[in-house]
Structure 1
């Protein structure tokens, strides 16, 4: 029996966008006289850069009203769109496309589709909801709610960078040996909303870049409750242009 993957779950996965492989860390990176400013510069300089991204992924979602797992094919074109085909037991159950303005979700199981503006996602989850941010999460790059007055703490094997602006908090943890970004946390204190992202299993993406193949995301909201998502990437390729197909069958019914 196919399990229905609800649009809400897909939207959380895409916003909070991710059997473990053996851990493989990037080569050790040295920074003299470590400061918050130098680590911030390092994060900015070492973001994954790709005009195109193609990947397979195993996705597990566990929320208060639903638990489901599926496989997905993902394509990203920089500053243009994110496309995803979600499959269960070999059948496509949903197709998603995000552009600069909207999110489109086709539900194959119920012959329905939904279209929502990114402003709706921002108001629903109180998170930065724009294409640039979603693509950064997909690539495993840091998302900066605020980078001013950043402070630095040392915690066991990690550097912990903290920035707070009003009710918004930004946290980044970097491995002391490799300076790889291993955890981030984004918080909205006033509305009690928080997203935690663990980035694991770094492997070479090309001669100069490393990619986190395993992501664990936890979302906690006073309105939506708690949700956990695990994304296990495979077959990741960059800068290979793809043909992207997305069309809504005329017989499908729109739901909001």
Structure 2
């Protein structure tokens, strides 16, 4: 029987979607100071000489660089991955299938040894999750999910992170140059975000820090490859430092490696069924 431990299921399905990108390895593609000469002004019969003040040399000011990540344009996405979940006490490996309709639906299926253990469906309004083995059903708003996770979560954030985009693009960023990379520093309420953008204009690293709780997330993207002329990280690693209810720091490592991804124009099916006895509660 596959091992899907109690209490971890909801956290797992969220994090697998929340902090990943997907891909299949394939072949690639001065400020000017204007000097005004002395001018002579004639008024009646009196000759007046109007002298301009001495010109002060203005040093050019270096503007903050404009940095933008490269977004993905798609209609449907279909992907398969292997996910390693590791803590200090145990580790588990899962097969995770994802289907997605842009700006509308995210579906995922989690299995172990070819046996489906859980299915989740994310719409723009709600998160639904059915754990088939434990017979558990969750139906949450994003506000309640954000409260459980300790981070702000919306459908738009999930979608951006799945396809490898910067999650808070409309938020004003302070830009810092670090070697070949740019760091886009942002504040989103009580959350501080550092986006590391590489020369390929894709996220290389994402740091998220929740000030009041000191919960931290680090996401490293690796093995970039091209799909439909867009770059995706073929693998990624997530490190979570989150305090539990007893205020003890719990470290979790999640490694994601993709074997296949497709960007499609043809509509996909999103099979999500929950027994009526759970819906009527």
Q: TM (normalized to structure 1)?
A: 0.81
Shift of the alpha carbon at 1:183? 0.8
The question of 1:12 aligning with 2:15 is answered yes
Partner of 2:185: 162
244-253 or 82-91: bigger deviation:
244-253
The answer (yes or no) to whether the contact 1:23–1:200 under 8 Å persists in 2 is no
Give the SS at the match of 1:246: coil
Instruction: After TM superposition, give the deviation of residue 173 of structure 1 in Å.
Output: 1.6
Deviations 1:82-122 (A, max 9, x none): 10011111111111111112211111212222222211111
Q: Does the CA contact (< 8 Å) of 2:78 and 2:263 recur in 1?
A: yes
Structure-1 residue corresponding to 2:218: 196
The runs of 5 or more residues in structure 2 that have no matched partner are 30-61
CA contact (8 A) 2:26 2:226 kept: no
Residues in 1 aligned to 2:156 and 2:140: alpha-carbon distance in whole angstroms = 17
Alignment-derived partner of residue 58 in structure 1? 82
Distance 2:99 2:11 in 1: 20
Q: What is the number of residues matched between the two proteins?
A: 240
Instruction: Find 2:124's aligned residue among 84, 100, 114.
Output: 100
In 1, Cα distance between equivalents of 2:231 and 2:272: 30
Pair 1:184 & 2:209 matched: no
Deviation at 1:23, TM superposition (A): 8.5
What SS is found at the alignment partner of 1:129?
A: coil
Q: 1:254–1:158: structure 2 CA closer, same or farther, 3 Å change rule?
A: farther
Structure-1 separation of matches of 2:212 and 2:28: 37
Q: How does 1:42-191 map to 2 (within 5 A)?
A: 42-43=68-69, 46-63=70-87, 67-144=91-168, 147-155=171-179, 157-164=180-187, 167-176=190-199, 178-191=200-213
Query: Do residues 237 (structure 1) and 280 (structure 2) align?
Result: no
- Tell me if the contact between 2:24 and 2:258 (Cα under 8 Å) persists in the aligned partners: no
Partner of 1:230: helix, strand, or coil?
strand
Stretch of structure 1 that moved more, 82-91 or 217-226: 217-226
Structure 1, unaligned runs of 5 or more: 28-33
What SS class does the counterpart of residue 4 from structure 2 fall into? coil
| Kept in 1: contact 2:19–2:238 (CA 8 A) | yes
Match of 2:56 in 1: none
